[in-house]
Amino acid sequence: MKWKILHDARGSLRVHMQKSRMTLREADILEYYLRAVEGVKDVKVYERTGDAIITYTCGRDALIRALSSFSYENEDIRALAPEQTGRALTREYQNKLLSVVVRRFTRRFLMPLPLRRVFISLGAARYIWEGLRCLFKGHIQVPVLDAAAIGVSLIRGDFQTASSIMFLLKIGEILEDWTHRKSVDDLARSMSLGIDKVWVRAESGEVLMPVGKVRVGDEIVVRMGGMIPLDGVVLEGEASVNQASMTGESVPVPKVPGAYVYAGTVLEEGSCVIQVKSTQGTGKYDQIVKMIEESEKLKSATETRAFHLADRLVPYSLGGTLLTWLLTRNATRALSFLMVDFSCALKLAMPISVLSAIREAQDHNMTVKGGKFMEALARADSIVFDKTGTLTHARPTVARVITFGGAEENECLRLAACLEEHYPHSMANAVVAEAESRGLIHEERHSRVQYVVAHGIASTVEEREVIIGSYHFVFEDEGCVIPEGEQDKFDALPAEYSILYLASGGVLMAAICIEDPLRGEAKDVIRTLHDLGIQKITMITGDNRRTAEAVANKLDLDGYLAGVLPADKADFIRNEHKAGRTVIMVGDGVNDTPALSEADVGIAISDGAAIAREVADITIASDSLTSLVTLRVLSQRLMDRIHGNYRGIMTFNGSLIGLGVLGVLTPANSALLHNVSTIGIGIKSMTNLLDG
């Protein structure tokens, strides 16, 4: 692809792609290709001019080589750009706004006055009909106010005022629709797949490969807690699939051989082999959009109240108009009530404020799935933390492997990694990482793996049952025993570690000691959350009481529960609700999903299980708990902005009505100031809430 440099500065490059016309899709391909170049910080591609502005920290020569290697025909490059990026939506509404502005000024300056009045009257018919239809239904709402203002202006022969009102209303309609569509689009794309690799069944066993290399007809393996990466048909196995992101169904759907499964859904129970039917996951985006469109998830309670208030004020505006005319017999003063309504500002500023906050959260690597969760965050007074992978470091490590019964250490670790690599949990990842660091190759030697939530994993290797998991699972549920003569060795296991027990044939083989250090920022985050109004901070963990107590004391927590099951976590949150508290739950594992669903706000750590991210209301991509502080501050400032907008809109528009009634402002000036203030509040609502 030919290109030339237009501007070259240190750390910044503006290039022009020498192509007669760049399509929206081509602009997306170029943007996502450049973003994938190591060292590129930011990219802006302007499809109208064919230019790209690149901000980079890598070497200039490396960037030049990347640009020289770019080609629209390269399938691997084309695959980098997702199907939906938001660029087409932005272009659509930019064109709509431009069209409205051009038509208005063309008619005003080029069209003869008589013909212009005909067009104004025809345009007014739509608004008047909407107002009449609202009245026929027995409602006195904002369309009635708009129709009255336009109709009275026409009756008085004030075509210019009627035209200005319709122009500003049209601009408001486009901006409101754009805001809503962009909100839905942003959320749908943020909920789209983030899967990099997938297990593919081959002749040599299961192979982990990039999802981009999977082809139609390949057989992929998905196990409990994993996300289905591609559309396909179940060949083997049975599973319960959470399809909430696709269909909104509240309960998991059973899947048996022959059933169709969709990309982006999550296995809650079981495992299955899926034959890939589509490598695009084509239905997911549209299904998510439909789900959001049909729900009220985007709107917070404050937004809803503002919308209803705008409609409830309409009868008072009409009553004020009539009363002013009866008292003054002055139609101009009476029109002041009709020229200024509270609807435009309330219905525009509120969703824009929420959208801006969600966008700002995304800038800080946090995905928020709706405005109501921001509101719940702001008023929450209780927060519940999972321990492993949440309060502790996201990447725990294996400190020691203590063997029993003469077992060989590396062989035990190899076997443990072979089982654990299939399940996305931080402790499982630690085992796999330790085996990798020792150069241990763990070939697939086991049969079907069974994962028991919050307990462990069971399988069969060379006709022997092998299990790995917690003390409760290995010794109490499965009845495994300690090799004869090694009880003292078992009793001396170090208390400072979390331990995974590995047993084969009902006999303990090894205790894998997991060093699970606290996150360095955890204590400061807990203290800051208290300062920000969180009254109760609790830790709930499946770990033993001694370890949990030590963590709780170090972090100055208000309480903790140890040795709990997933259902116990959800029960605790229900009890918090009964006590009148608004609860945030923070977790990362399959066992956290019931609590994440039960909480007013479920927050998932992105490195955790796919099912946790799926059911959570907010996902944090940053590897730091300070994101929770950022979220709390952001949500509180959002609510302050919404309430401030509300007070400002009521005060300013009320003042305009008063000045109009007193004869200080003409109806046209009132309408102009009203709409200018609406646009001003909308622009202010789009600014960042956080400093820096």
pLDDT, tens only, 621-644? 777 899 999 999 999 999 999 889
Beta-bridge partners for 45: 52
Which residues fall within 8 angstroms of residue 511, CB to CB, at 6 or more apart?
401, 402, 404, 490, 493, 499, 500, 501, 502
* Greatest mean pLDDT range, 249-253, 368-372, 653-657, 674-678: 653-657
Least confident among 51-60, 212-221, 633-642: 212-221
pLDDT given at position 79: 73
511 lies in the same domain as 559 = no
C-alpha–C-alpha distance, residues 317 and 338, integer Å: 7
239 within domain boundaries:
yes
In angstroms, what is the C-alpha Rg of the chain? 31
181 within domain boundaries:
yes
Spatial contact of 45 and 31, defined as CB atoms under 8 Å apart:
yes
Among 515, 544, 574, the domain-final residue is 515
CATH of the domain at 261: 2.70.150.10
pLDDT, tens only, 93-115? 889 989 999 998 898 888 899 99
67 lies in the same domain as 96 = no
153 within domain boundaries:
yes
Closest CA to 541 of 552, 533, 528: 552
Q: 62 is written with which tokens?
A: 């490396």
Range of the domain at 215: 197-280
582 within domain boundaries:
yes
511 lies in the same domain as 401 = yes
- Give me the number of domains the chain comprises: 5
180 lies in the same domain as 107 = yes
Spatial contact of 599 and 618, defined as CB atoms under 8 Å apart:
no
C-alpha–C-alpha distance, residues 158 and 151, integer Å: 10
C-alpha–C-alpha distance, residues 5 and 22, integer Å: 17
pLDDT band at 448 (very low <50, low <70, confident <90, very high): low
pLDDT given at position 493: 87
More confident residue, 282 or 183: 183
156 within domain boundaries:
yes
Report CA torsion sign: 401, 407, 408, 410. Answer: negative
pLDDT, tens only, 589-621? 777 888 888 999 999 886 666 667 777 888 887
406 lies in the same domain as 498 = yes
481 lies in the same domain as 407 = yes
Least confident among 279-288, 338-347, 447-456, 673-682: 279-288
Mean pLDDT, range 116-142, rounded to an integer: 89
CATH of the domain at 43: 3.30.70.100
404 lies in the same domain as 490 = yes
CATH of the domain at 404: 3.40.1110.10
More confident residue, 408 or 449: 408
Q: If DSSP codes are grouped into helix, strand and coil, which group holds residue 408?
A: coil
- Which residue do the tokens 């981009």 mark? 212
pLDDT given at position 387: 87
Among 81, 102, 136, the domain-final residue is 81
Report CA torsion sign: 498, 500, 506, 508. Answer: negative
From start to end of 516-558, where are the E strands?
Answer: 536-540
DSSP letter string over 29-53?
A: HHHHHHHTSTTEEEEEEETTTTEEE
Q: If DSSP codes are grouped into helix, strand and coil, which group holds residue 446?
A: strand
43 within domain boundaries:
yes
Q: 495 is written with which tokens?
A: 């208390």
Q: If DSSP codes are grouped into helix, strand and coil, which group holds residue 433?
A: helix
Spatial contact of 242 and 611, defined as CB atoms under 8 Å apart:
yes
498 lies in the same domain as 480 = yes
pLDDT, tens only, 123-132? 999 999 999 9
450 lies in the same domain as 584 = no
pLDDT given at position 296: 47
C-alpha–C-alpha distance, residues 557 and 563, integer Å: 17
| CA 181 from centre of chain | 15
More confident residue, 249 or 481: 481
pLDDT, tens only, 462-517? 778 899 988 888 998 889 999 999 999 999 888 778 889 999 999 999 999 988 78
Q: 330 is written with which tokens?
A: 């002055």
C-alpha–C-alpha distance, residues 194 and 605, integer Å: 13
pLDDT given at position 497: 82
pLDDT band at 453 (very low <50, low <70, confident <90, very high): low
- Reduce the secondary structure of 291-338 to three states and give it as a string: HHHCCCCCCCHHHHHHHHHHHHCHHHHHHHHHHHHHHHCCHHHHHHHH
Given a cut of 60, is residue 445 above it in pLDDT? Answer: no
260 lies in the same domain as 329 = no
- Percent of the chain topping pLDDT 90: 31
pLDDT given at position 678: 79
pLDDT band at 247 (very low <50, low <70, confident <90, very high): low
